[in-house]
Amino acid sequence: MKFKQYINESINDKGILKACFMAGQPGAGKTFVINKITGGSVQPKVINTDTWAEFYKAYGDKEWDKYGNKIKTLTKNQLSLYLNSMLPLWVDGTSSLPNAVVRRRGIVESIGYDTAFIWVDTSLETAIERQQLRDRKVNPDEITKIYNNIQPLKDYYKHHFRNFIVIDNNKGEFTDSVVLGAYRKMSGWFTEPLKNPIGTMLVDRMTEKGDKYLTDSEYTMPQLKNLVEGWYRH
């Protein structure tokens, strides 16, 4: 039995062909923000492209070569399946490599996705304090380095993404009213009609043919996996 028979998502579900990218330094609270503003009828899949690489580098783990290829293979296969089902996505990471972010946006837009961007803001002091409360701590010097590299990119991403949202997740700033406002905005974006002309034509064509997945007739799995290879290219 094919794997896709085990998943319910398809062309008929809400939120298809929507991908929201996120940026923020370690300790910014990106996962916390996602959990707070996710809900309702759309449940985006989280694509975390940076966590493992940052973890092994930060801890100087000499086993990175041993585990790295396995992690990459698993995440690539997972993303290929998500794209095949046109699932809504949260692309979570520090986004410290702007060329990679723009390349990934281009990949999903090329198959019909609408894209948005959430920038999660915190002060350096707050980011360091939150990291020290975690089980897997990151050296404050490493956090400072990443923070200084990321902050100048805010205007860059704002220029490249029409749908750009800033969320202040400093102490006392991410209040209930801010959470509710962000939730409504993102829920509305995930459920509004597609604007990408590639996506609208794709959905019309697949609906007419009765297709549910991209591999039913639009793409082959090797083609999708080739796109994913580009996604993880350094």
Give the tens place of pLDDT for each residue, 160-202.
898 998 888 887 777 778 788 888 888 889 999 999 999 999 9
Mean pLDDT, consecutive 10-residue stretches, the chain (234 aa), reads: 45 88 79 77 77 52 60 84 94 80 94 94 84 73 86 89 88 78 87 95 94 94 95 82
Which of 194, 197, 222 is closest to 11 using CA atoms?
194
Domains of the chain: 3-231 (3.40.50.300)
* Cβ count within 10 A of residue 27: 25
